Structures are given as C-alpha cells and as structure tokens.
Structure 1
Amino acid sequence: MPSACFTRFAVAALLLGASALPAMAIQLAPHRATYAVSLDASKSGTRINGAEGRIVYEMRGSACAGYSVQLRQDTDLATEGGRVNSAVTTATWEDGEGKSYRFRVTNRLNGETSEEADGVAERKDGELTVTATKPEARTVVLGKNVLLPTEHVLRLIRSAESGEAVLEAPVFDGSPDAKKVYETLAVIGRETRDAKGLEEAATIGDLAGRPRFPVTISYYERGGSSETPDYVISFDMFDNGVSRKLKLDYGEFALNGTLISYEALPKEDCAK
C-alpha cells in the first residue's frame, strides 16, 4: 500500500482476546511471498491513473521463538499532479503468546520520510501498554482485549476453520503513529481447495491443495464517528497464514496484489 496500511494486513493480513491460541492448534508457515502491485481498474472516480510496484513479505519464527516479519512495499502512482513514489518498510517481532511486540515502521514519499513509528508494546495483567520512541517519546495504555497482528491472524484462521462468518476485534500494529488502535470487522467466506484461476506460485510446494478462505477486513479508527471504514483489505487466506489475491481499498482508489513468487522458509521446531 502507498502508506503504512499494508502492515495491518501483512503482519496482518494478516490475520484472542488477551491471550494466545494454543500453540499447536495452528502452524503458521515461515515464508517469503512477493506480490506485483497494480491499480484496480474497477474502482471508479479515482484521481489515480495508474499504479505499479511490488510487495515483499517475509515471516519467520514459531510460537516458541516468536514471529518476525519484514515487509517492503514500493509503489509508483501516476496521479493527476504527476508521479508519486511510496516506499513503506516494516520490521516487527511478536511473542508467541501475544505478550510482547516490537515494531519499526517507515513510510517515505518521493524519497522523504513522511511517517515513522518505533516502539514496544507489552501486555501485563491483560492490559496492552505501548512505549514509543518515534514519532515521539511517550507511553500509551491501550487497554485490554487489543490484539497484536499475529494474534489477529491466528484468530482469523481459527474462526475460518470453525465456520464463523464474522470476526470483530480491535487491533494494534504500531502504524502509523505508534498509538492508534483500529476496530476491525472481518467477513470470512467458505473454505475452498479449487485450483482454478490460481497463480502458479499458489499451487506449488506446501500451498498445493491447501484449504483457503476469502477474507475481507474493514478497518475503523477507534473513537471515530464515521460509519465508512478508513480502508478495506481483502485476500484469500490459506490455513497456514499465507495470502494471495490481495485488494487494498483506500476509498479513493484501490490496489491489487498478485502473488508472483512464494518460497517456504525453514521451520523452527517448537516443543509447545
């Protein structure tokens, strides 16, 4: 995405209350996925005439070691006022039990930093507290029942496998300002294993024949008065946390992300 929004999918996409799911219930796959970014031509009324770029998402770790995510998205937008380049990079680590989260997010427009967030979130007695160094030094208590990104992914998969069609949850990922919480509403479709129309990268290795679920997540700023979401993300979610067929809808325009390469990374043994 042209802003730090993608971190809410990827780390969010992805996709528990104040505690983590049983560690062995769901096995997230360490992997590296690359997506080609293009403008969604079906979105009318946009001032964006074209878009091209790439998203590279890498997740490593386990429930024992915690989950680290590296993401970079470079997007060139052709606008009425000229070309705009957006480059967002994120680096996060999340404890397997959802008790600790480190994040660093940088968003650059035309080579200049426009947003930057850096900090640590810790959960104690159910309450999530964020200590940030950027964009400014501060400590914010976000309260209870706020999910971290991997917690959200795990809850999405659990809900999908249980046949639940809707999941509502507040989520914190650090972007864009190290304090914002989004209320999310996820609509989850039925499981499919149909390979028709899949990209080649989604049919190889440990993705071949895996069940997946269509997911649409709407993000609303906590405390906001608008009934219109700030942005909407949709994707196909495999049961190991890998995603394909991205759509990132920002209201005025939308971007598509097509999976062009997928690499399974070494798994870490976990005795939990």
Structure 2
Amino acid sequence: MPSASSTRLVVTALLLGASALPAMAIQLSPHRATYAVSLDASKSGTRINGAEGRIVYEMRGSACDGYSVQLRQDTALATEGGRVNSEVTTATWEDGEGKSYRFRVTNRVNGETSEEADGVAERKEGDLTVMATKPEERTLALGKNILLPTQHVLRLIRSAESGEAVLEAPVFDGSPDARKVYDTLAVIGRETRDAKGLEDAATAGDLAGRPRFPVTISYYERGGSSETPDYVISFDMFDNGVSRKLTLDYGEFALNGTLISYEALAKEDCAK
C-alpha cells in the first residue's frame, strides 16, 4: 500500500493491558489468506483513477511459541500523474505474552525504498522499549499499556465475544519508522453467521459457519492535534483471527480487499 503503516490490516491486520490472556481464552488459527485489491469507487473526490493488486497474509505459531506474521501487499495505482507501484512487506514475531516483538517493515514505491523499519521491542515491568536499527539506531521508551499487534487482535476478539461495541487501545507495530504509537478506536458490530454474500473462500474449511463481527478501526498518531484519523481500516473478523471484506481508507482514497483464497495451516500443540 502507499504507506507502510497500512500493514496494520488485521494486521491489522487485522486487540487494554499488557498481561497474558487467560488460558484457552482464544485460539488463533494459523493460516494464509490472499486478497484482491481494488479501488473503492464509493470514495468521492479522489485523484486516483484506478487500483489493482494483491495482499498475501500469513500467520503461524501459537501462544506457547509466539506468533509470526508475514505480509506482502503489491498495489498499482492509476493517478492523474501516471502509474504508481507500491510494495509493502512486513515480517514480525511476537511472543505469546506480548513481552517481546521483532519487526521488519519495508515500503517501496516504483522500486525505490521510501520507508524502512527494523528493530525489537521488549516489555519489562509493563514498560515497552524499542531498540531500532532502521531507519536509524536508537532506543526509545514508549511507556505502559501499549498493545502489540497480536495482543490487539486477541483483545478485539475478546471484546467482540463479550458484546462490547467500542475498544480504545494504543498500539505499536513498528511501522512506518520504528517509533510511532497509534491511539486506536475500534467500533465492533454484532455477531453474525449468515453466509449470504460470502466469498467461496470464506465458507470452506474451518471458516464454514464460524461467527464473525464487523469491525472498523480508526488510527490516530499519538500526540497529534488532528481529530481526523490518519487512516481507517474496516473488515469482517472471524473469531479465529481471520479477516475478510477489507476496506483501507486513507482519506483521499480507499482500497478494497476481497478474500480470494484461504488456507488453514498446521496448528502447533499448545496447552495455553
């Protein structure tokens, strides 16, 4: 996508508190999902004439051994000034208790690297500290009660299953510069199991008949003065962490992501 920070799709990519979740509370499903990217034609006033591309999201691991996520998004935008090709790649690992996080994010535009972040985040006595090597070497104390990406996903699912309609949480995922914390506001809709209108990929295997919840998350850069979010992500969230029906809204334009394939990956033995 045009900005590396958009990797939060479920990533967004797709979660307050930094402690471990209760045993067996939520089981995330290791999986590989592919989404076809297109321009959201309902967004008016855009200078983008068209968009096409693909998102491939892969999550492996467990609460015992930690969660690894690899994401790649390739997007071609037809603009008034010509074609713009964007490639975002993200590789992360997060331990099951949210105490350690490794991230690497790269954003290339027309083949040139425009943003790059690399580093490790560690939580000690509740405080999250980042040791970054890119875009420059530095150590930054972010503070307490900041969620990591998988923690955020787990907290979203827990809130949805509890019937909570709103979740506010600060989140750090490393993009775009290894230092930004985003204050997030999630609005969660009611559970549904209705299969009407679902893609074929969302009705097969372990997704068949699963409950899901419509979720909209607004991201605000911490410390910013604007009341308008930097961007907004909407999606349908299954109770195992899989997402469908993505909308990535950047203000001037928005992209849709349609689930075109889904593969459940091997689960690891874990007593948690």
**Helix, strand or coil at the partner of 1:6:** helix
Q: Cα offset for 1:22?
A: 1.7
Q: Is the 1:10–1:57 contact (alpha carbons within 8 Å) kept by the matching residues of 2?
A: no
Q: Cα offset for 1:15?
A: 4.5
Q: TM-score, normalised by structure 1?
A: 0.99
The Cα offsets for residues 155-207 of structure 1, whole Å up to 9 and x where unpaired, read as 00000000000000000000000000000000000000000000000000000
- Sort the Cα spacing of 1:246 and 1:15 in 2 relative to 1 into closer, same or farther, 3 A: farther
Distance 1:58 1:23 in 2: 24
Q: Cα offset for 1:23?
A: 3.8
Counterpart residue number, 2:79: 79
* Structure 1: unaligned runs, 5 residues or longer: none
Q: TM-score, normalised by structure 2?
A: 0.99
Q: Cα offset for 1:132?
A: 0.1
Distance 1:135 1:177 in 2: 6
Q: Cα offset for 1:5?
A: 2.6
Q: Is the 1:63–1:95 contact (alpha carbons within 8 Å) kept by the matching residues of 2?
A: yes
Q: Is the 1:23–1:63 contact (alpha carbons within 8 Å) kept by the matching residues of 2?
A: no
**Helix, strand or coil at the partner of 1:5:** helix
Q: Is the 1:61–1:267 contact (alpha carbons within 8 Å) kept by the matching residues of 2?
A: yes
RMSD: 0.8
Q: Cα offset for 1:9?
A: 2.0
**Helix, strand or coil at the partner of 1:25:** coil
Q: Is the 2:15–2:169 contact (alpha carbons within 8 Å) kept by the matching residues of 1?
A: no
Q: Is the 1:172–1:182 contact (alpha carbons within 8 Å) kept by the matching residues of 2?
A: yes
Q: Is the 2:15–2:147 contact (alpha carbons within 8 Å) kept by the matching residues of 1?
A: no
The Cα offsets for residues 229-270 of structure 1, whole Å up to 9 and x where unpaired, read as 000000000000000000000000000000000000000010
Q: Is the 1:166–1:185 contact (alpha carbons within 8 Å) kept by the matching residues of 2?
A: yes
**Farther-moved stretch of structure 1 (15-24 vs 193-202):** 15-24
The Cα offsets for residues 75-109 of structure 1, whole Å up to 9 and x where unpaired, read as 00000000000000000000000000000000000
Task: Name the count of aligned residue pairs.
Answer: 272
Distance 1:15 1:46 in 2: 31
Identity of aligned residues (%): 91
Q: Is the 1:35–1:261 contact (alpha carbons within 8 Å) kept by the matching residues of 2?
A: yes
The Cα offsets for residues 46-76 of structure 1, whole Å up to 9 and x where unpaired, read as 0000000000000000000100000000000
Q: Cα offset for 1:19?
A: 1.0
**Helix, strand or coil at the partner of 2:54:** strand
Q: Is the 1:92–1:103 contact (alpha carbons within 8 Å) kept by the matching residues of 2?
A: yes
Q: Cα offset for 1:6?
A: 2.9
**Helix, strand or coil at the partner of 2:13:** coil
* Structure 2: unaligned runs, 5 residues or longer: none
The Cα offsets for residues 106-163 of structure 1, whole Å up to 9 and x where unpaired, read as 0000000000000000000000000000000000000000000000000000000000
Q: Is the 2:10–2:153 contact (alpha carbons within 8 Å) kept by the matching residues of 1?
A: no
